[in-house]
Structure 1
Amino acid sequence: MGYHEWHDRPGYYKDISRHFDPKARLLDVGCGTAWLAEEFSDYVGVDTAEDVVTSAAAKGIDVRLASKDGSLPFADSSFDGVILKDVLEHLPDPVAMVREVRRVLRPGGRVFASSPDAQRWVWNDYTHLRPYTRIAMRRLWADQGMTVEKVSYECVAPGTGIVSGLTRRKQRPVPFVLAAHLPIVRRNVWILATRPGDHAAPSS
């Protein structure tokens, strides 16, 4: 199994997609298998892996090859929403990426981002460069001119996605939601933030 297959569609996928209208023009940064394309009618993914782009094209999914310098190949104010699921921890310059996300978002556009909390398990993944705390995540986006709506934890203990999928909850079951606030539980930090502006993007 390749690296991207480890991060295929999770059983709790609505915890991610519920923040956006299904008709919103959505950019999925670091899209991997591009499973979010099933949730949005106007979907574009980007990834630095050429095999990801090739695989998506074979499925008729619009995925573009992204530059490894963090720049995004889109015009200013191109999207209603941007998702960065488990992306920032891989980047040598996360500030540059956040600035790019702000640039391609329309005024009022929303971003969802998640990354591993500052826990020991983070370093089991050889591609991780840094973990995040809630304070660090908030400051990263606020310092680049984004309005932070919410910062919280999400449980990513082994089996979370399997249980969510088997129970068809599409969101993490309540025990997992509550467990995320215990510092001994394996978790991610997630954030919702908006680009300031007069025109709100469609959201659920």
Structure 2
Amino acid sequence: MGYHEWHARPGYYMDVARHFEQGSSLLDVGCGTGWLSAEFPAYVGLDNSPAAVEAAQQRGIDVRLADLEAGLPVGDAEFDGAVLKDVLEHLLDPVGLVQEVYRALRPGGTVFASSPDAQRWVWHDYTHRRPWTRTSMRRVFADHGFEVVRVSYESVAPGTGIVSGWFPRKRRPRLLNVLTWLPGWRRNVWILARRPAD
């Protein structure tokens, strides 16, 4: 099983999609096979994996091959929202990507980003270059022009996606969100931030 196969649509997919209004134009950076496209008709995905891009394109999804550290191949102020789910931890230059997402969002546009918390398990994935904390996540967005709406934790303990899929809302159960505040609980840091309206 390849990297993108075990990063397919999780059972808690509404924990990502809920931050954007239906009909929003969405830029999904580090999109893998484009599983968020099912929720957003005006969708563009970017990924640096030729295999993931090809798999998405075969399913008719607008996913484009891109070097995420070399500027995004999209226009200025083109999108209502952007998602950076589990992507910042893979980059040598996360600041450059945050700046590019700011450029690609319309004024008032929203970005959701998540990355593994600074815990030992983060390094089990050999593609990770850095962990994140709530403070570092807040700072990288605030320092580059975004208004921070919320920063928190989300559970990524084994089985979270399966358990979340059992519930009709397709979100993590409240208990799992509470448990993320316990020391040692396997979690991601997530942020919701907004490009200021002009």
Secondary structure of 1:36's aligned partner: helix
Amino acid at match of 1:129: R
Amino acid at match of 2:14: K
1:167 aligned partner: 167
| Residue 120 (1) aligns with residue 152 (2) | no
Unaligned 5+ segments in structure 2 are: none
Amino acid at match of 2:139: R
Q: d(CA) in 2 for partners of 1:106 and 1:167?
A: 33
Secondary structure of 1:153's aligned partner: strand
Unaligned 5+ segments in structure 1 are: 199-204
1:37 aligned partner: 37
Amino acid at match of 2:127: T
Amino acid at match of 1:150: R
Q: d(CA) in 2 for partners of 1:11 and 1:50?
A: 25
Runs of 4 or more off by more than 4 Å in structure 1?
none
2:141 aligned partner: 141
Displacement of 1:12: 0.6
Q: d(CA) in 2 for partners of 1:111 and 1:18?
A: 12
Return the TM-score normalized by structure 2. Answer: 0.97
Secondary structure of 2:81's aligned partner: strand
2:13 aligned partner: 13
CA contact (8 A) 1:12 1:172 kept: yes
Bigger relative CO (Cα 8 Å, ≥ 6 apart): 1
- For each residue in 1:6-47, what CA deviation from the matched residue of structure 2 results, as whole angstroms up to 9, or x when unmatched? 111111110000000120000000000211010111111000
Amino acid at match of 1:166: W
Q: d(CA) in 1 for partners of 2:176 and 2:65?
A: 35
1:50 aligned partner: 50
Displacement of 1:97: 0.3
Amino acid at match of 2:41: S
Amino acid at match of 1:101: V
For this pair of structures, how many residues does the alignment match?
198
Return the TM-score normalized by structure 1. Answer: 0.95
Secondary structure of 2:189's aligned partner: strand
Secondary structure of 1:46's aligned partner: strand
Percent same amino acid at aligned positions? Answer: 64
RMSD: 1.0
1:202 aligned partner: none
- For each residue in 1:151-197, what CA deviation from the matched residue of structure 2 results, as whole angstroms up to 9, or x when unmatched? 00001100011111123440001110110111220000000000011
Displacement of 1:68: 4.7
- For each residue in 1:75-106, what CA deviation from the matched residue of structure 2 results, as whole angstroms up to 9, or x when unmatched? 11010000000000000000000000000000
Amino acid at match of 2:141: W
CA contact (8 A) 1:85 1:113 kept: yes
1:105 aligned partner: 105
Amino acid at match of 2:55: S
Q: d(CA) in 2 for partners of 1:58 and 1:41?
A: 17
